[in-house]
Amino acid sequence: MNSSLHVTACASAVLFVISIAMFLRWMKAESHLRLPPGPNRIPLLGNVHQLPMQSQERKFTQWGAEYAGDIVFAKLFKTPTLVINSLQVAQELLDKRSSKYSYRPDFILLSDLMGWDCVITHMTYGDRFRKHRRWISNAFQDKHSLGSYRPLQRREAYMLLSGLLQSPELFRSHIKRFAAAMILQIAYGHSVTSLDDKFIHLAERAGKETVEYGSAGVMLVDLFPFLKHIPLWMPGSGFKSRAFEIRDLVRKMLDTPFEMVKDAMKSGTASPCLTATLLEEVLSKRAPTAEDEDDIKGTAGVLYGAATDTTVAVLSTFILAMVLHPEVYEKAQAEVDRVVGQDRLPEFEDRESLPYLECVVKEVFRWNCPVPLGLPHKLISNDQYQGFDIPGGSMVIPNIWGMTRNDSFYPEPEMFRPERFEQMDRETAEARDPRKMVFGFGRRICPGQDFADASIWIAIASIVATLDIGVTTDEAGKQAPPTGSFVPGLVSHPEEFSCKITPRSEQVKTVVFEMGANVVL
């Protein structure tokens, strides 16, 4: 045996011995614990080899059924992991024990390498998190603030309708413009006038590249943080090079609109917006530091980088569901016609008078929850639940997709059926409202959920009132319905599909134009 082979063999033997020693140590540490049920683990890998590369939520749901557990314990390499498949358990642990469960695992890939460290979604619980949370809550949870956004939401809903009337084949682009335009106005005072808006493109590209490349909490570098120190010249460091490319996109997305607001403030031309308000708040005390600016960039950036993508996913899902279920759409249109009539568009004040439309919105959220696994939490210290021990440091994954597929709550869960909520009594319908899941839990719940819900409702109500949606036909005149499939990922979007969108009448165009022209911000 030559010397190089001898060295390699010795190194392999040493690594093997170290690995076995580490495994035995972990086994000993766990031997006295009564862990929740879960799949059998093997040395080193734990259960990671049993997880598919995509759609892990389906595997977690299968584990829940197999081990008859609302909670399932697994290990991803050395990381203890608790999967929550039940809304009740999520509320009991993540809501009621939020002081223990509000932390985040170390997102090495997303935060350290890709540059998302300054956004609240990726921060662990602490002073910086609370500061960002306070800023966002002031903007989106105060009743006066929410009310002040309604003219903007109406205007953008009318702009959405106008775009769908003019170029219905670009419905996805119009939905993206709708979602981004509201956030860009609120966060930066920027009015979107075109589908080619540069800020929309910046956010879309940074978000798309991030979601496609990095799934939070499951990349190897997250489970083995030492990998982030691998030199770029070393074999196997390609993930770092790709992460740094995405980091440049993320920085442009965060920096470009922030600098626009700063320049406008210097020249006295800045429009009222969240970024200007936060800068003024800091300036009233001192000159902004680099950390201050990074916090403000992150607070505004998380709105237009993340919130828009989930809104697009929900509205695209609504369009898909209506194409596949014309009977639902016709029933919703009949209700809107009875309440709103033909001479105006729906207003927020009409919402309580449109109970079936409310059921449709709930079913859209349930049928394709926008973020199937949310973002993982981290348990900061040891805990006990239902007689089981949960080790401190565990990654806690709320399987929101699995919760929305609970067939004891939602019979035939794969079916799109808004009537399921009509058939529940008021208390049950409230308890099983999917919006109690899809916006997250505890101190990690989305602070902008009321704004997002209102924006989605006014868009859906406006579309139902004015447009017909149907299946396209091929060249032979045969209907070509979409498959109804979804693209797996951090955010669940429908696969590309086509549909036919037409005005319900000629009067619609006049009503949309007149009401859009009369909106005053």
Edge to edge, the sheet with strand 395-398 lists 71-76, 79-84, 395-398, 377-378
Task: Read off the pLDDT of residues 247-289 as tens digits, 9 standing for 90 and up.
Answer: 899 999 999 999 999 999 999 999 999 999 999 999 999 888 9
Q: Please check whether residue 337 is in contact with residue 356, taking contact to mean a CB–CB distance below 8 angstroms.
A: no
Residue pair 164/501 in contact by the 8 Å Cβ criterion:
yes
Distance CA 157, CA 516 (A): 9
Alpha helices in 375-417 (DSSP H): 400-404
- Give residues with Cβ within 8 angstroms of 16, minimum separation 6: none
Within 10 Å of residue 41's Cβ, how many Cβ atoms? 20
Q: pLDDT 10s per residue in the chain (521 long)?
A: 454 444 344 444 444 455 555 555 555 556 688 999 999 999 888 998 999 888 899 999 999 999 987 999 999 988 999 999 999 999 999 999 999 999 999 888 888 888 888 999 989 999 999 999 999 999 998 888 889 999 999 999 999 999 999 999 999 999 999 999 999 999 999 998 888 888 888 888 887 787 777 554 446 776 677 777 777 777 777 778 888 888 899 999 999 999 999 999 999 999 999 999 999 999 999 888 999 999 999 999 988 777 788 999 999 999 999 999 999 999 999 999 999 998 899 999 999 999 999 999 999 999 999 999 999 999 999 999 999 999 999 999 999 999 999 999 999 999 999 999 999 999 999 999 999 999 999 999 999 999 999 999 999 999 999 999 999 987 777 777 898 999 988 889 999 999 999 999 888 888 887 776 666 55
Q: What is the DSSP string of 189-203?
A: -PPP-STT-HHHHHH
Q: Would you say the C-alpha torsion 21, 26, 28, 31 has a positive or negative sign? A: negative
3-state secondary structure of 126: coil
Q: Is 446 annotated as a binding residue?
A: yes
SS3 content of the chain, % helix, strand, coil (to 5): 60, 10, 35
Which stretch of DSSP H or E encloses residue 128?
A: helix 127-140
pTM above 0.85, yes or no: yes
Q: Which residues pair with 468 in a beta bridge?
A: 502
Cβ contacts of 5 within 8 Å, gap of 6 or more: none
* Amino acid (one-letter) located at 474: D
The predicted structure's pLDDT at residue 206: 84
Which pLDDT belongs to residue 518?
A: 63
Structure-token match 């009537």, residue found: 419
Residues 350, 357: Cα–Cα separation, whole Å: 11
What are the φ and ψ backbone dihedral angles of 355, each rounded to 5 degrees? -65, -35
Q: CA geometry: angle at 140 spanning 137 and 466, to 5°?
A: 160
What confidence tens digit (pLDDT) does each residue in 315-325 have?
999 999 999 99
pLDDT in the model for residue 341: 92
Q: What is the pLDDT of residue 332?
A: 98
For residue 17, the model assigns a pLDDT of 52
Residues in contact with 63: Cβ distance below 8 Å, sequence separation at least 6, in sequence order: 38, 39, 69, 72, 74, 83, 85
State the pLDDT at residue 27.
53
pLDDT attached to residue 92: 97
Name all domains of the chain by residue range, CATH numbers in brackets.
28-517 (1.10.630.10)
Neighbours of 144 (CB within 10 A): 6
Could you give the CA distance from residue 303 to residue 187 in angstroms, rounded to a whole number?
Answer: 7
Residue 430, SS3 per DSSP:
helix
Long-range contacts from 450-454, C-beta under 8 angstroms, 24+ separation: 450/140, 450/141, 450/146, 451/140, 451/146, 451/149, 452/307, 452/310, 452/311, 454/146, 454/149, 454/150, 454/153, 454/348
DSSP 310-360: HHHHHHHHHHHHHHH-HHHHHHHHHHHHHHH-SSS---GGGGGG-HHHHHH
Residue type, 453: D
Q: Can you read off the two tokens belonging to residue 114? A: 């890709």
What is residue 10's predicted lDDT score, i.e. its pLDDT?
Answer: 47
Q: Do residues 146 and 140 touch, judged by C-beta distance below 8 A?
A: yes
Measure Cα distances from 353 to 149, 333, 335, 461 in Å.
Answer: 22, 13, 9, 12
Alpha carbon separation from 417 to 261, 326, 360 (Å, rounded): 45, 12, 8
Of 492, 490, 364, 494, which is closest to residue 435 (Cα–Cα)? 364
